[in-house]
Structure 1
Amino acid sequence: NARKNHIDCLVCLGGNGTQKNAMRLHEAGLDVLTLPKTIDNDVAGTDITFGFDSSMAIATEAIDRLHTTASSHHRAIVCEIMGHKAGWLALGAGIAGGADVILLPEIPYDLEHVVAHLVERRHHNKRFSIIAVAEGAVPKNDKNRAERAQPQEEVEGLIQEPVASRVAREIQQAAGIEVRYTSLGHVQRGGSPTATDRLLSTRLGTKAGELLHDGVYNVMVGINGNDCVAVPLAEVAGHTKVVPPNHPWLKTAALVDTCLGDKIEFKE
């Protein structure tokens, strides 16, 4: 069809699945060019993806709103946030929204450590807590960790118990405090994009137009610092960008006394 319609290059916008399929098309003989579009911010070769800021803003507002009920009813509330197998959304929204606990796929959580943090807050007369949980969060030393890390709809084709539900039940049983949970689900994927995402996508789009004009194919247009750059698709496809152990956001969260699920040592 591409040859019949005289298509010089197919432009693909999307996340990791899109990047991998674009690479397959390239290997089959079709020139491609891709842009990183996903709320998960987990595409390799770019500092940020468009869609991420909008989704993070929605999750941050949700955490803000949960503070009202949590504080008035003296409860702990678990909020499940998307992100696939990476914790960027939960970490960013958790810090921005003032979550007291943030659980990420990159840091398997120790339930005893989390409970101790929540109990200590109560001892200091902080009668409520907000726990931001990434959908890929898994407990430490869990034999089923690999399976639990899969998004709900991908495990044996069945809808599994929400991660937030499991975490809420575990905390309530271990700490003896009243816990509620909510899962934002696909609410995070829609609505009006932020100005930051509109600017980012326009910059990437115009850079893609320039590359197409110059005949530069089989690359992804990414962001490196303040620059739009062409990244070889081979360096992107099949790679996932997760939160590194020394990322500044993790250090920031720790410095404002946010529990990250386990004890963490930051190397200088």
Structure 2
Amino acid sequence: MSVVLRGPRYQLLAGDKYNITLGCLGACVLAACKEIRGLPQHVQWQFNAYTNWNLAFIGLRLLLGQEQWDPFLAVNSMGVLLGFRTAMSQGISDNMRLKLVSFGMPISRLQFFVADHMLHTVPAVALIARLVRDKKRVFGMNCVYATILSTWFSFRQGAQLDASGIYVPHPWRRAWFGIFVGAFVTPPFVDALIRRDRVGILASVLALLVPWLSTRLDPEMRRKYNFEFKLQQGQQSGAANRAPAENGATGGSALLSRSSRERLSRVASEQSTQASYLSGH
């Protein structure tokens, strides 16, 4: 008696037991949304935030019942969580709030705090709790997939690993260190939680704390990146102020060139008329 193994729901390619093809299509759609013109600035910015990409994949998993994605999503969510905590420690996250305010999104510190944990902390905790409850291990290839997706996102959206232009100035190298640690420590962390291995849990937690502590205990970090944020704001404000002037100058040049063309056309017409008159006489 043969056993027929069923693939995942909405499987696009035979043999793709994790339905990676569907995930790739989702990533392509999210990347293409960056090119949509006419969107408000704050909406367009949302498509450039990797946190929102992660939430979009979680939403797709829930909508289409892609349970086989849970280990990958847990790894990716832990990377997002630890990367954000590492990059935005010492109150730098408030610069992010101020950037959202500059987009016309008035948000208080309390609202930002709640939204921060709903978007970054809750997904990672919920996914890991589900894996532990179901005693489902996380295999190492999920870390590779998360690394590929996050680095591809960074180069696709900003053409570099430093995402300070998309977010706010931050220690991007240590942020990536946090992302990698969060991703690659998740498999042994989940295993330790399933086995209730206290030593393994403690070792994983200590490893996860290293990137965050590297920025939390840096005495120069807050001053340095607050200064860079103010500089970034000044540059963006200057660019916004120059745009109307440049548009006006461009319009004036276009008007001048149009009037010049009309004058030359009249001169050419008069010369043609004179030539016709002389040839007739």
TM-score normalized by structure 1? 0.29
TM-score normalized by structure 2? 0.28
- Which protein has the bigger strand share? 1
Higher relative contact order (CA 8 A, sep 6+): 1
Larger Rg: 2
- Which protein has the bigger helix share? 2
